[in-house]
Amino acid sequence: MDLRDKHIVLGLTGGVACYKAAELCRGLLKEGATVQVVMTEAACRFITPVTMQALSGRPVFTSQWDDREANNMPHINLAREADMILLAPCSADFIARLAQGRADELLSLMCLARPAARVPLLLAPAMNREMWSHPATQRNLQQVVADGATVLGVGHGDQACGETGDGRMLEPDEILQDVIAALQAPSLRGRHVLVTAGPTYEAIDPVRGITNLSSGKMGYAVARAAREAGARVTLVSGPVSLPAPRGVARISVRSAREMHQATLAEAPAADVFIATAAVADWRVANAAQQKIKKDGSGAAPALQFEENPDILADVARSDRARSGALLCVGFAAESEDLLANAQAKRLRKGVPLLVGNLGPATFGQDDNALLLVSEQGVEELARDSKLALARRLVARCASMLDGGRIHAG
């Protein structure tokens, strides 16, 4: 429940995307937030206040003259009570109102009256593709961003008018991720974080290969947590069935050599490298060009192995890592003697921080337990969701960057 104890004002403006606001409201509540819905007159044409009241569990406000507030100032009271104001959908007309500083109805009044230093304003635009690309809309968007609002962007696809293009409101889950991210501490703002995740796949023949049980969930959680912390994130991922975290640039690879090549190409621009991937130590040197078939003799094919490149060690040996310009964090997935193996691997790889976990107890799971091993000592992170642990790891990385404690020891 990432939004526990948070109070979100959800503002709806006129547009068919109001139907998505119903699901978004439910999502906010499931994450622990309380939701106060405020609707413009135009929004009430697309979805009723009764529906939003039933979903939010609170009376919906639609008028600046609503006398349910003792002082008759809902635009002041609602803005002061909020941890965030989220406009979803936000129409082209309402973006223009914000850009002009108009305040002739409740929602625009409330946005203008919000304590801007404490209450962020997030916009999820929704409109026809031509309206979205119109110079006036783009000019208004630039102005509202300059005035302190955050524009979440739009989706691409089929539109209610029958056309296809940019301008669709983002899906509720995408907006929810952005809301959660906006309320996290921006400890890595301005940084570039490079993450590897998932398994690698080493071919035996065109239809068979050697891999492991890594699901990629820990690495994807780390990528999401780094993005929440304000970083620009590049994720080099082996073959997994997970969608890329919102706002994260993913590079999909298959083998260890492909991951090695992609990682070393990205590392020179990174400030932090977190190697969560479960990379195969060996590959088949004599992989067959065609499917290996049984011949009835009972004899197994003779496979020859050669060692894969060591991605973490190669990055850690780079000039930027040695000089302290790049913080390298390794992962160790062990099956026994976790502390001893993690300590030995940290020294062998030459990295400031090594994260140990027991592979059989975490592969494919949504939770994990971690051991953080550094020159300063050992810290145990008790079993928790992988995202919660990822946020703690990212906070540790930010602290190391700020404190300059990034030497391998």
Q: CA-CA distance, 409 to 405, in Å (whole number)?
A: 10
Q: CA-CA distance, 188 to 197, in Å (whole number)?
A: 20
What are residue 334's phi and psi, to 5 degrees? -110, 165
Coil vs helix vs strand at 389: helix
397 a catalytic residue: no
Query: Of 18, 44, 161, 397, which one is the catalytic site residue?
Result: 161
Which residue do the tokens 């190669």 mark?
314
Token digits of residue 305: 């192995």
Residue 231 CA: distances (Å) to CA of 111, 128, 179, 394, 397: 27, 31, 16, 10, 12
Contacts of 368 (CB under 8 A, 6+ apart): 218, 357, 361, 362, 383, 384, 386, 389
CA atoms within 13 A on the CB side of 221: 20
How many CB atoms are located within 10 Å of the residue 395 CB?
A: 16
Ramachandran region of residue 57, left (φ > 0), alpha (ψ -120 to 50) or beta? left
What are residue 323's phi and psi, to 5 degrees? -80, -10
**Rounded to the nearest 5 degrees, what angle is found at the Cα of 225, between the Cα atoms of 352 and 202?**
70
Residue type, 50: V
Residues acting as catalytic residues? 161
